[in-house]
Amino acid sequence: MQIIREPAPLRDAVRDLRDAGKRIALVPTMGALHAGHIALVEEGLRRADAVVTSIFVNPKQFGPNEDLDRYPRRERADALLLEKANTTILWAPGVEVMYPDGFATNVSVSGVSEVLDGAARPGHFDGVATVVLKLLNQIRPDVALFGEKDWQQLAVVRRMATDLALDVEIAGVPTVRDDQGLALSSRNAYLDEDELARARTLPRALGEACAAIGKGEPVAGALAAAVARLAEAGFDPIDYVSLRDAETLAPIETLGARPARLLAAARMGNARLIDNLPVTISASPGK
Ligand code: PAF
């Protein structure tokens, strides 16, 4: 695995891969890697011949009172994991490489960026869209892979790729969970043992709400029950538990023909956790 920190050697390495006829996958990350990230690399290797994984803790997607300073950084351990997973190139630019003096561009995807996490974290998705577009331009991959845990991020990136006619396939990869269902996240490192145990209420509450809605129970009641369960487990604040159109993220009151997704964000101790699940109409028994 090559570790590259400057744009010129990156350009050369990517050109060499292209000249050798290789399909290239991009896995953008902020490091502090876990099995969810490795699943992205593995999927990248199934879909392409070479994987470029980026590690860049992107200051533009953190709000002023968020966790930029304490976001876990462990590049050496990450590099070992990526090497073992057969990543071809680790792209690890510094802030001055991604945002040199005078950097003045902001990419803003309206609509899908403005709700849910976009409302709770103003400017967050502008930061994500800006850095992802820059990474896509630096690597020019055939496919870029994003975890479904960040469902809204995936929706924003897909919207941007469609709107700007980007010549790249945006692929979502299913969320990797621990043995009790908690979605793996670099921010789980902020939880102590007791908080970790209580955080596992999040996927359970979402699963129960999905099942209830799928059986035809009223959406409002199912969402209220999930919020109550999260509050009882000690989540505070609960930013949202919301049923949305899976693509546009418009609110949904009853399930219809279009795919639906239940999304939630809530704080446990020092960690703001997000999760989401698909919601489907369950067949009635006997039919
Ligand atoms: O999902 C993440 O880790 C980040 O939001 C991303 C896509 C790497 C952009 O900084």
Type of residue at 56: F
* 251: DSSP letter: B
Does the pLDDT of residue 286 top 60, yes or no? no
Helix, strand or coil for residue 90? strand
Residues forming a β-bridge with 240:
265
More reliable by pLDDT, 287 or 127 = 127
d(CA 48, CA 46): 6
Pairing state between β 24-29 and 89-91: unpaired
Residues shown for the chain? 287
CB of 28 within 6 A of ligand 1: the answer is yes
Strand stretches in 40-164, DSSP E: 50-55, 89-91, 143-147
Quick one: which atom of ligand 1 is closest to the CA of 147?
Answer: 1
Same fold, 2-173 and 186-276: no
Type of residue at 37: H
How many other CB atoms are found less than 10 A from the CB of residue 20?
9
Which tens digits make up the pLDDT trace of 14-41? 999 999 999 999 999 999 999 999 999 9
CB of 150 within 6 A of ligand 1: the answer is yes
Which tens digits make up the pLDDT trace of 82-109? 999 999 999 999 999 999 999 999 999 9
CB of 145 within 6 A of ligand 1: the answer is no
Fold of 186-276: Pantoate--beta-alanine Ligase; Chain: A,domain 2 (3.30.1300)
Does the pLDDT of residue 277 top 80, yes or no? yes
- What's residue 283's pLDDT? 74
Report domain extents, the chain: 2-173, 186-276
Quick one: which atom of ligand 1 is closest to the CA of 29?
Answer: 8
Contact 189, 225 (CB under 8 A): no
d(CA 40, CA 146): 7
CB of 117 within 6 A of ligand 1: the answer is no
Best residue for ligand 1 mutational test, from 98, 132, 134, 154 (most atoms within 8 Å of Cβ): 132
Q: Tell me how far the alpha carbon of residue 135 lies from the centroid of ligand 1, in angstroms.
A: 11
d(CA 130, CA 153): 12
pLDDT band at 270 (very low <50, low <70, confident <90, very high): very high
Percent share of the chain, pLDDT over 90: 97
Contact 271, 195 (CB under 8 A): yes
Quick one: tokens of 246?
């899976």
Average pLDDT, the chain: 97
Pairing state between β 24-29 and 50-55: parallel
Which tens digits make up the pLDDT trace of 114-131? 999 999 999 999 999 999
Query: Token pair 């129970």 is at which residue?
Result: 217
Residues forming the active site: 37
Angle between helices 219-233 and 201-214 (to 10 degrees): 170
Best residue for ligand 1 mutational test, from 131, 157, 276 (most atoms within 8 Å of Cβ): 131
CB of 132 within 6 A of ligand 1: the answer is yes
Which tens digits make up the pLDDT trace of 162-179? 999 999 999 999 999 999
Q: Tell me how far the alpha carbon of residue 216 lies from the centroid of ligand 1, in angstroms.
A: 35
Percent share of the chain, pLDDT over 70: 99
Among 108-112, 193-197, 279-283, name the one with the lowest average pLDDT.
Answer: 279-283
- What's residue 285's pLDDT? 54
Write the CATH number of the domain with boundaries 2-173.
3.40.50.620
Mean pLDDT across 238-245? 98
Helix, strand or coil for residue 101? coil
- What's residue 287's pLDDT? 41
Quick one: which atom of ligand 1 is closest to the CA of 157?
Answer: 7
CB of 53 within 6 A of ligand 1: the answer is no
Type of residue at 127: G
Mean pLDDT across 230-235? 98
CB of 61 within 6 A of ligand 1: the answer is yes
Of 51, 42, 1, nearest to 176 by C-alpha is: 42
Best residue for ligand 1 mutational test, from 153, 158, 184, 272 (most atoms within 8 Å of Cβ): 153
